[in-house]
Amino acid sequence: QVDLVESGGGSVQAGDSLRLSCTTSGRTMSRLGMGWFRQTPGKEREYVGSIHWLTGRTFYADAVRGRFTISRDSATKMLYLQMNSLKPEDTGVYYCAESRLTFKDDSDEYDAWGQGTQVTVYS
């Protein structure tokens, strides 16, 4: 059983930055990848980016590439999402997720999810 808890969300102006964190507790021995997803009311959950846990290789959705950076600390099992140059369309609830099967964008392959943290970007 793995528990994930996101933190660091908030309300900011367009152009500002935020750093989200994802704390892990519990078993992570089978972790292959971790991802960040976001969701706004009335829309499907959207892939933001992900990381291959062992190698640290990262992958990003086109909408955030060049502005967002995912990193991890293997020793503490922490996952981070640095978000720069935020835009109003980045508004949503951000979730971290763990997968034993993938390190890319298929949300169905992620089997542990946090409860989310709200990010609101004002224009």
- The DSSP string of 32-93 is -EEEEEEE-TTS--EEEEEEETTT--EEE-TTTBTTEEEEEETTTTEEEEEE-S--GGG-EE
**pLDDT band of 105, cuts 50, 70, 90:** very high
Which structure tokens are listed for 56? 């640290």
pLDDT at 30: 83
Report the C-alpha gap between 47 and 22 in whole angstroms: 16
Report the C-alpha gap between 16 and 104 in whole angstroms: 27
- pLDDT tens, 41-99? 889 999 999 999 999 999 999 999 999 999 999 999 999 999 999 999 999 999 999 99
